[in-house]
Amino acid sequence: MTLAAAHRLRRLAAALAAGEALTAADAAWLADRFGAYLDGAAEGVTLDDVLGLVPGRGGEHWWRTERRARRDDAVRALAGQVDGPDSRRAELVARRLTHYAATGWRTDRRLSEPPVDGAAGRAEMWIAVAMNDGEPLSVRTVRRILEVADVPDQLGHETPPFRGQAPRADSTHR
């Protein structure tokens, strides 16, 4: 539930930032959540708790899930630029990411958003490496990502774009 809650909060934040009114259902939900926080704060209840952002036992934090989804989307986009079977595409993508991490990433890592100019796939390479803590991906990891390329988003949500980047047209990312 944590990723779904994060998506909802992003949507509400974007609406409020744009000066749009919240729907009655969203306003009621937000008021209820703030009320739960105010009522329980003295007992240690946090905003993360009431907003549904705390993962269950053994679960993953929403921001990690989101970063991995962005990384995987970028890897799939890079693989889409290469013909051949998944094993060959995985090798080529991993090699390309390793080269980028050793060369282009050295200057691009200072960017707060993916580059919009440059070589084909540069933005995707930036995303893949940035969302992987500055490290390239192994052939095995790329192959695993490509194996689940046709699985629809389990939550029915698209991965939020970077600041200033237009949302994707599709809503699948896993």
**Which spans in 18-85 are helix H?**
24-40, 47-51, 62-79
Residue 1 pLDDT: 61
Instruction: Say how far apart CA 137 and CA 93 lie, in whole Å.
Output: 9
Cβ 2 vs Cβ 50: under 8 Å: no
Residue 148 pLDDT: 85
Residue 169 pLDDT: 41
Residue 147 pLDDT: 92
> Which segments in the chain show pLDDT lower than 50?
151-174
Residue 97 pLDDT: 97
Cβ 79 vs Cβ 146: under 8 Å: yes
pTM for the predicted model, two decimal places: 0.71
Q: How crowded is residue 90: how many other Cβ atoms within 10 Å of its Cβ?
A: 25
Q: What is the DSSP letter of 120?
A: T
